[in-house]
Amino acid sequence: MSIISTDIQKAISLLENEKLVAIPTETVYGLAGNIFSEKAIKKIFSTKKRPFFNPLIVHIPSIDALENVVSYVPEKAKILASAFWPGSLTLVLKKKSSIPDLITAGKDTVAVRIPNHPLTLELLRRLPFPLAAPSANPFNNISPTKAFHVEQYFKNDIQLILDGGTCKNGIESTIIGFENEEPVVYRLGALSIENIEKVIGKVTIKNHKLQNPDAPGMLQKHYSPKTLLILTSDIKKEIKKFQGKKIGILSFTNSYKNDRIFHEIILSKYANLNEAATNLYTSLHELDTFQLDVIIAEKLPEMGLGISVNDRLQRATFQE
């Protein structure tokens, strides 16, 4: 029997009883639990096999609810929240003492956002507590953009996946923290740097940190398919290196005619970077089902969301 459902009341009941529920957002599906339940939060970490030093994102229903989670909001954070919430922006702010250290990896800051999905916003409004919700995938695996992806990962571990359809943005939120009141991008994501800088001017990017990360999503290896993934600017040249191998191609906008290609997916036939970002994880999930020897992915232009997609693909290639 499928655990995929649109039953919000069942989700509320499970969450109030310290259980986990997978929830849809506009970015990716999240694995959600009550932030004030140590049992639920520990279950998130154990289910995902996520290290405790990697903080979680807290999801709230409105800007008014921010005062329940954080103790101080810099002026530029207020401007960003006003411009982009609900949406694919996570802010790292000074936390209230009531926020458990388990959520924040012992830091005095907490990552928080308002997701832009009607089902999850309704759920958050009806709950008496915020939700911690990292992506609903095992640590380092491809993030889920469909309820089906979550079911493939966790059908034996959770009781409910709220089905909100396919995630429209398709990659994780952009995370911004503040150092000396100035914004710092800790994770590139579904909100482009260009759009951010239109609102608050130039930002610093500090996108990777191997130890003791300042925010979620900063580790060098992440978002990886089971299949070996190669990132290149020259697909044709890369294909020649894998003679006799079962090759999958993830291209930006062109089709590469070659007898060695077993399966090809084009992220955007019209070279639309937003569409490419939306299709990224769904395409990687699909390519991973073909038992390929290698997936060769094409770098996108280093502009707009192309920068964020390249970031995800680069981390998926990282070999420890």
What is the C-alpha separation between 241 and 154, in angstroms, rounded?
36
- Contact (Cβ atoms closer than 8 angstroms) between residue 56 and residue 44: yes
The per-residue pLDDT for 2 is 87
* In the predicted structure, residue 69 carries a pLDDT above the cut 70: yes
- State pLDDT tens for residues 208-225: 655 565 666 555 556 789
The per-residue pLDDT for 208 is 61
The per-residue pLDDT for 100 is 97
The per-residue pLDDT of the chain, averaged, comes to 94
- State pLDDT tens for residues 81-134: 999 999 999 999 999 999 999 999 999 999 999 999 999 999 999 999 999 999
Q: Give the CATH fold of the 229-317 domain.
A: Rossmann fold (3.40.50)
- Contact (Cβ atoms closer than 8 angstroms) between residue 137 and residue 30: no
- State pLDDT tens for residues 128-185: 999 999 999 998 899 999 999 999 999 999 999 999 999 999 999 999 999 999 999 9
In the chain, % of residues over pLDDT 70: 94
- State pLDDT tens for residues 223-236: 789 999 999 999 99
The per-residue pLDDT for 209 is 53
What is the C-alpha separation between 163 and 303, in angstroms, rounded?
32
294-298 sheet: strands from edge to edge: 229-232, 294-298, 247-251, 261-266
* In the predicted structure, residue 27 carries a pLDDT above the cut 80: yes
Residue ranges of domains in the chain: 4-205, 229-317
- Contact (Cβ atoms closer than 8 angstroms) between residue 170 and residue 80: no
The per-residue pLDDT for 215 is 61
The per-residue pLDDT for 319 is 53
Rounded to an integer, the average pLDDT of 246-255 is 96
- Contact (Cβ atoms closer than 8 angstroms) between residue 185 and residue 196: yes
CATH code linked to domain 4-205: 3.90.870.10
* In the predicted structure, residue 320 carries a pLDDT above the cut 60: no
Q: 274 vs 212, which has greater pLDDT?
A: 274
The per-residue pLDDT for 315 is 87
The per-residue pLDDT for 204 is 92
